[in-house]
C-alpha cells in the first residue's frame, strides 16, 4: 500500500496534510531482507496508477525483485492513513489513545489476488515464503490464496506466517480469529504478538499460545518491550524454548516494528544462526524501525548487527538505541557505544 502519515500530531479529522510513504507487512519484510543482503522477491498486485508506479519504484530501490508484481488496469492501488502511536488490538479495556488507522483497500488491485493468478514457480523456488494474515482479510479470493499456500504439500519452501491480526480489516470480525488460527497451523514458522494472541484467541502467555499451535516447527511469540520467546520442535516432538529480552529503545514511532522483527529473525534463519541469535537479530531490526517515523528503518550493517547480537547479557541489558543508531557504528569495532545515539548505560 501507499501509506499517508500525518504531518503533525492530532486526530485524522484535524491533520491538514500527510506525508506519503510505502507500507504493507509483506513488502516491509521484503525490503528489510533485501537491504541486509538477501535476494528477495515480492509477489503482489498494484494498480496502473501513479501510486502503483511509486510502490514498485520504491520497493525495487530497496533491492527487491518486483518483476512478478502484476499491474491491474481496472483496480486502484490500496492506500491507508494513520496517526502515530500503537494500533488498536481489540482487547477490552485498551487505552483510548491508540492510533487511528483508516484502510482504503476494498476493491484494490491486491484484493483481487487469486490462486490462479499467481506464478507458482516463482512462489515455490524460494527458500522461505513469507505470508501474513493481513492478506487473508482483504477478500475471499485472497483468503483462498493463503489457504493454498499454507496447505502442506511436498516440496514447498519453508512457509513463514505472521498472524498480523488487524481487527479493522475483517469484514466479519468474528471470522478473523478462527481463520488466522487455521492458517497458522499450516505454516512452518509462525510469528504472533502476545497481545494479538490475547485479542484474537483469548490466550494468555507464550506457553498457552504454543499449546494452541503445536503444528508449526517454530513458533515465535513477541512480547513487546519485554522480549520474545521461540519454541522449536525437536525430532522427538518436544520443544526447545529460547527467550531473548528486548532492547531499550528511544521510540520515534511504533509503525513497522513487527515486520522488522520478522525480517531480522528470517535473515538470521537464512544464515543458519542459533535460536538466541535469531531473536536478537529480530530485536535489532525492530529497533531500526522503531527509531524512524515510517515503516522502514535503515538496517544496521550485517557486521554491526552481529557484533551487537554477540554482546554479553549484561552489555545487552545496558544498551540503549536512539534515532540514527544504525549509521553510528565506527570502524574500530566499538559498535558506536561512544556516540549519543547508541548508548551503553552503566548503573
Helices (H), 16-169: 25-35, 50-61, 120-124, 133-136, 140-149
pLDDT at residue number 106: 85
Confirm if 307 and 333 have CB atoms less than 8 A apart.
yes
**pTM for the full predicted model:** 0.90
Residues annotated as catalytic (active site), given as ranges: 259
Q: Rounded to whole angstroms, how far apart are CA atoms 82 and 163?
A: 20
User: Per residue of the chain (347 residues), what is the pLDDT tens digit?
Assistant: 899 988 888 888 888 999 898 888 999 999 999 999 999 999 999 999 999 999 999 999 999 999 999 999 999 999 989 887 655 555 555 455 567 888 888 899 999 999 988 888 888 889 999 999 999 999 999 999 999 999 999 989 999 999 999 888 888 888 999 999 999 999 999 999 999 999 999 999 999 999 999 999 999 999 999 999 999 999 999 999 999 999 999 988 777 889 999 999 999 999 999 999 999 999 999 999 988 876 778 899 999 999 999 999 999 999 999 988 988 554 334 444 333 344 444 33
Q: Rounded to whole angstroms, how far apart are CA atoms 205 and 61?
A: 39
Return the SS3 of 44.
coil
Confirm if 294 and 270 have CB atoms less than 8 A apart.
no
Percent of the residues in the chain that have a pLDDT greater than 70, as a whole number: 90
pLDDT digits (tens, 9 = 90+) for 269-307: 999 999 999 999 999 999 999 888 767 788 999 999 999
Q: Rounded to whole angstroms, how far apart are CA atoms 245 and 248?
A: 10
Rg of the chain over CA atoms, in angstroms? 19
Nine cell digits for residue 328:
553510528
Amino acid at each position: 500500500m501507499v501509506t499517508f502519515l500525518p504531518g503533525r500530531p492530532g486526530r485524522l479529522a484535524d491533520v491538514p496534510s500527510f506525508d506519503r510513504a510505502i507500507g504493507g507487512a509483506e513488502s516491509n519484510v521484503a525490503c528489510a531482507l533485501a537491504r541486509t543482503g538477501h535476494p528477495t522477491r515480492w509477489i503482489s498486485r498494484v494498480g496502473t496508477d501513479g501510486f502503483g508506479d511509486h510502490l514498485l519504484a520504491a520497493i525495487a530501490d530497496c533491492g527487491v525483485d518486483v518483476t512478478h508484481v502484476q499491474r491491474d488496469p481496472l483496480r486502484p492501488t490500496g492506500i491507508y492513513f494513520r496517526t502515530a502511536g500503537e494500533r488498536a488490538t481489540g482487547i477490552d479495556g485498551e487505552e483510548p489513545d491508540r492510533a487511528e488507522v483508516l484502510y482504503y483497500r476494498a476493491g484494490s488491485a491486491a484484493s483481487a489476488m487469486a490462486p490462479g493468478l499467481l506464478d507458482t514457480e516463482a512462489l515455490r523456488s524460494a527458500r522461505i515464503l513469507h505470508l501474513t494474515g493481513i492478506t487473508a482479510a482483504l477478500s475471499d479470493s485472497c483468503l483462498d490464496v493463503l489457504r493454498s499456500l499454507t496447505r502442506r504439500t511436498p516440496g514447498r519452501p519453508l512457509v513463514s506466517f505472521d498472524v498480523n491480526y488487524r481487527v479493522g480489516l475483517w469484514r466479519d470480525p468474528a471470522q478473523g480469529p478462527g481463520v488466522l488460527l487455521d492458517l497458522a497451523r499450516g505454516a512452518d514458522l509462525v510469528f504472533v504478538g502476545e497481545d494479538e494472541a490475547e485479542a484474537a484467541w483469548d490466550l494468555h502467555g507464550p506457553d498457552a499460545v504454543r499449546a494452541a499451535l503445536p503444528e508449526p516447527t517454530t513458533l515465535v511469540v513477541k512480547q513487546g518491550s519485554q522480549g520474545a520467546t521461540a519454541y522449536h520442535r525437536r525430532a522427538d516432538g518436544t520443544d526447545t524454548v529460547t527467550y531473548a529480552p528486548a532492547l531499550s529503545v528511544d521510540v520515534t514511532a511504533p509503525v513497522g516494528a513487527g515486520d522488522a522483527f520478522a525480517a531480522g529473525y528470517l535473515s538470521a534463519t537464512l544464515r543458519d544462526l542459533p535460536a538466541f541469535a535469531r531473536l536478537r537479530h529480530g530485536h535489532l531490526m525492530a529497533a531500526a524501525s522503531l527509531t524512524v517515523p515510517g515503516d522502514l528503518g535503515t538496517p544496521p550493517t550485517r557486521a554491526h548487527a552481529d557484533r551487537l547480537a554477540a554482546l554479553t547479557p549484561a552489555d545487552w541489558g545496558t544498551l540503549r538505541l536512539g534515532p540514527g543508531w544504525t549509521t553510528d557504528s565506527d570502524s574500530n569495532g566499538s559498535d558506536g557505544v561512544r556516540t549519543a545515539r547508541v548508548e551503553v548505560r552503566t548503573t
